[in-house]
Amino acid sequence: MTRPSSIDDSLRETIIAQPDIILDDKDVMQALIDTNERNMGGNIVDLRGVAMERLEERLDRLEDTHRSVIAAAYENLAGTNQIHRAILRMLDPVAFEPFLRDLGGDVAQILRVDVIRLVLESTQSEDDPAVSRLGEVLSVADPGFTDAYISAGREAPVRPVTLRQVDQGDPALYGDKAPWIRSEACLKLDFGPGRLTGLLLMGSEDGNMFTPQQGTDLLTFFGGVFERTMRRWLG
């Protein structure tokens, strides 16, 4: 007798010997299920097939979630390493002026931001020679400036770190680069009892560099280290 199947003998033997190659192939299994449903007719509901479809959908969602979690983990690890490198570079200088110049140079490059500005609240004039020499990084403002700048006139508590997108930067702070600033991180600085607060600004030309939806843990840590480092220079 002849075998009714028209399948190639070698392929048939391979499938019989290794049925897993069929079971593990999603596209082949789907084609077999579709063919089976067509042979059953339109009036029969294959509950097993429905259950399989739902399981496949759940599996696809789990795989997407798994990929997202892995991507987020890598991104967090990269961000952590970046912050650690910036902190180590920030701690290298042993004098105040090199410390601030590195802040606007190497530290900014490590953090991949276009501008870093330090604003110190003070009751004194901005005519201090140190301010003049470090004008690209350091500026002085009246008491209360930090909270007013971060809150932008809104009646809300000022958080240690505020991330936001902007149409452009403040020319008084960002200077010539102000027209190109599209997002910024505002770190409120606490220099200890009896001292006025300060503000550390990180400005970027990338509008997606700093957004309100992002986490602030790493920048909060960076701000904490910066505060403690600054206390050495403030005496």
41: left (phi over 0), alpha (psi -120 to 50) or beta: left
Residue with tokens 């339109």: 42
Give me 188's structure tokens. 């409120």
Q: Is residue 185 part of a domain?
A: yes
Backbone angles phi, psi at 10, to 5 degrees: -65, -40
**Two structure tokens written together for 36:** 């089976």
The domain tally of the chain equals 1
**Inside any domain, residue 193:** yes
Give the pLDDT score at 1: 43
Q: Which domain holds residue 191?
A: 94-234
Residue 57 resides in a domain: no
- Asked if residue 108 is part of any domain, the answer here is yes
Is 19 within the bounds of a domain? no
Q: Per-10-residue mean pLDDT for the chain, 235 residues long?
A: 62 78 73 68 58 74 75 71 92 88 91 93 67 75 92 83 94 92 95 90 94 90 93 79
Q: Is residue 113 part of a domain?
A: yes
Question: Is 6 contained in some domain?
Answer: no
pTM of the predicted structure, to 2 decimals = 0.68
- 216 within domain boundaries: yes
Q: The domain that contains 174 carries what CATH number?
A: 3.30.450.40
Residue 142 CA from chain centroid, whole number: 32
